Structure formats: structure tokens, C-alpha cells
Amino acid sequence: MKRFNYKAKVKETGKSVKGSIQAENEQFAGRLLLEQGYIPESLVEEGEGILGKANRVTNKDRIMFTRQLSTLIGAGLPLASSLRTVANQTEGKGMKAVIEEILAAVESGKSLYEAFSAHPDIFNGVYLALIQAGEKSGTLDIALKRLADQEEKDAAMMSKIKGALVYPAIILVVIIAVLAFMMIMVVPQVQNLYEDMGQVLPGLTQFLVNISTFFGTFWWLVLLIVAGIGGGIFYFVKKTPSGRKVADSFKIHVPVFGGLFRKLYVSRFARTAEMMLATGVPMLDSVKIAIESTSNVIVEEEYSKSLESIKGGKPLSASIEGLEYMLPLVPQMSSIGEESGKIDEMLGKAAQVYENELDEQINNISTMIEPILMVIMAGLIGVVVGGTLLPIYSLVNSVGA
């Protein structure tokens, strides 16, 4: 998808406007502008910048935009004025261009939902459903605030998960660096020492020498194999449906992290369903969107089994009870909510319980993994040290004797 900067006139008023629009090509961009009520005067393709990321819309950009728009609409400003103000205050080029396109669509008579729907790569199904419900119920500012709150929670949670993995990654890099140094610099010296003295290398040392020689001679082959395997895995996981299934299944079954991911998906489901129901979205639509929000195809397939039951008139609690990967607190709280008429609140409380548990587990991950990594590092380095220093001591002793 390309981005084009345009100059155009509004059909009805003749007013000149500037902005940018995403389209497959220049012809399609002109057609989109005509559909939005503009007469194109010029279209210039916009460069993407270094690595194609100069105009990328980040989660932070979207959260800031949502929060600011909610505040301005809640303060009583007209929608077009609110969008224009946010656009003027936005620094990110990508987000600014998107807001200007949304503003142009709104000024041409489209609803905010229709304007946002033109950017499905930026605003997902949850976002669009809440915008539509907020417009219909006249609570757009509340819907936007809920969106901003939830996106901030999701971003914070993912940041914590990534942060918990940083320390183990650093330790692994240190292990690899130390092993590489000893194999490249130390092991060959031991081999030379033994050869100079006409001695036979011990078995472990010879094994390390063979490895060092292989990597020293065929390093290019090793790099090609690693790059090929890495590229193949990346393509399989990112570009093929079966690859994504394998990756998503791995997430929920991998030791230690599997339980953490399950709680993450359950909390997303419950929190999204709460937002949908609180904004007035019908139950079936709310559950569909909540299922999609998990972003795991294996979990989505399992949770989707509840939709037929809900269509048949069963309550949510009975429909999701017993589903694999569904933790028990959600159907229990749903049942309480159905009896009290506050199902959205009960789902929110269930989500909060699992979010709190996730916080605690994430904080404990580094503490739990640290000793395991230390043992692995000590074992690997011990093997290398045993294959280098001990033969030297043995050689020195034999010479002294």
C-alpha cells in the first residue's frame, strides 16, 4: 500500500484542501478522493524514509490520538474541530496523515465509523465496533476513553512480557560470546602447545579442537545455514496459516510461559467483552469481537464453539464453560453477572483478577529463569575450561616429572 500527498477541492464548496491518502496506485488514490467528495488537483507519491518506517503508525501514536480525541469530544467540541486540533498537535507523520484523511472523510459527510474503517491496518475490529456503538448511543467520548485505557493496558502488559525476556536474552548472548572467545582464542593455543611438545590431545580437548576447526573453516556455511533456517521459520510463521497455527499452539503449550499466555488471552477476551457490552453492543457481536481480540488462532477456534450456543439462546456462562483454554473464573463471574444484570462488570472483575496474576507472574519470570540460565552457563563454560586448562596443568605436571 502506497501513500500519496494530494491537493484537491471540495466538490460542494470549492474549498482547497491538502492531505495524504493510502492506495494501491495513483489511479486508485484519485478514485478514493472522488468517492470522498474531492476533485483531485495533484497526487504525489510519498517516500517511506529509511527502512520504510518513517511514516509508520505506532501503538503509542494511536493511544495518544484516541485519548486526545476523547478529551476534546467530552469537552463539547464538534467532531471535525476535535479531529483538526488533534491533527495539529500530532507529531508522527504517519498518524497525522491518517487523522487528516479521517477529517476529510468526516467533512465530506461520512460517519466517524466509516472514516476509521478505511484504515483497517491501524484500527482493529474492537476499535471499530466501539466507535460504531459510541456513535449510535451518543457516548463516543466514553467509548474512546475505554479504548485508550484498554490499549494502554495491553501495551503495558506486552512491554512487561518483553521486558521479562530481555534479561534471559542478555545472559544467552553473554554465554555465546564467552564460548566463542574461548573456542576461537584459547582452544587453538592448547592444540599448538600439545603439537609443539609432541603430545596427544585428551579426548575432550580434541573434541573442542574439532569444533573450533570446523567453525573456523566453514563459518560462512554456518551463517548461511542459520540465516536459511531463521528466514524459513520467519516466513513459515508470519506468511502461512499453518505456520501461525504452529506458533500460536506453541505459545499456549510451552512450559513456564504457556500458562502466562493463556491468562493473557482470557483476560483479553473478558476485558473486550466487558467494553463491548458496556457500550451497548449486542451479546453475540460482543463475543465475536472478544474472540478476535485474543489474536491467537488456536484460542479463537476453541472459543468460537460458544457462538452456536449463544445463537441458540444459551447464556454466555453456559456457552463458554468447559472450553479448552478458558479459565474457570470467567464463566463463574459471567453466571453471577447474568443473575445480577451486571455481566459487563463481572467480566471486568474477572479480567482484572487475571491481569493482576499476570503482573505477578511476569515479575517472577526473571527471578525464576536466572538460576536456570546460570547453571547452563556454568555447565557449558565448565566443559570448555575442562577441555583447555586441565590439559595444560596435566602437561605441566608431566614435564615437571
With bands split at pLDDT 50, 70 and 90, how would you rate the model's confidence at 328?
A: very high
Quick one: pLDDT band at residue 52, thresholds 50, 70, 90?
Answer: very low
350-360: average pLDDT: 90
Give the per-residue pLDDT at 105: 86
Lowest mean pLDDT: which of 35-39, 84-88, 130-134, 216-220? 35-39
pLDDT of 334 strictly over 70: yes
| Residues 258 and 312 occupy one common structural domain | yes
Distance between CA 91 and CA 87 in Å, rounded?
A: 8
Q: Residues 78, 174: one domain?
A: no
Please check the confidence at residue 94 and state whether its pLDDT lies above 90. no
Q: Give the pLDDT band of residue 342 (cuts 50, 70, 90).
A: very high
In this structure, the dihedral spanned by the alpha carbons of residues 141, 142, 145 and 149, taken in order and rounded to 10 degrees, is -170
The one-character DSSP state at 52 is G
Q: Do 102 and 211 reside in the same domain of the chain?
A: no
Place of cell 479459565: 327
Between 42 and 332, the higher pLDDT residue: 332
> How far from 380 is each of 222, 288, 393, CA to CA, in Å?
20, 49, 20
Mark whether 280 and 241 lie in a shared domain: yes
Query: What is d(CA 152, CA 63) in angstroms, rounded to the nearest whole number?
Result: 7
Say whether both 208 and 331 belong to one domain.
Answer: yes
Check whether residue 109 and residue 194 sit in a common domain.
no
**What's the pLDDT band for 270 if we cut at 50, 70, 90?**
very high
Q: Evaluate if residue 397 carries a pLDDT over 70.
A: no
Are residue 245 and residue 358 in the same domain, yes or no?
Answer: yes
Number of neighbours of residue 270 by Cβ within 10 angstroms: 28
Mean pLDDT for the chain?
Answer: 83
* Average pLDDT of span 162-183: 80
Q: pLDDT above 70 covers what percent of the chain?
A: 93
Clarify whether residues 339 and 397 are in a common domain.
yes
How many domains does the chain contain in total? 2
Comparing 141-155, 227-241, 247-261, 383-397, the range with the smallest average pLDDT is: 383-397
Check whether residue 97 and residue 205 sit in a common domain.
no
Which CATH number fits the domain that encloses residue 295? 1.20.81.30
Range 56-66 average pLDDT: 87
Listed ranges 11-25, 32-46, 301-315; the one with the highest mean pLDDT: 301-315
Assess whether pLDDT exceeds 50 at residue 116: yes
- Residue 294 has what DSSP assignment? T
Residue 26's domain spans which residues?
2-123
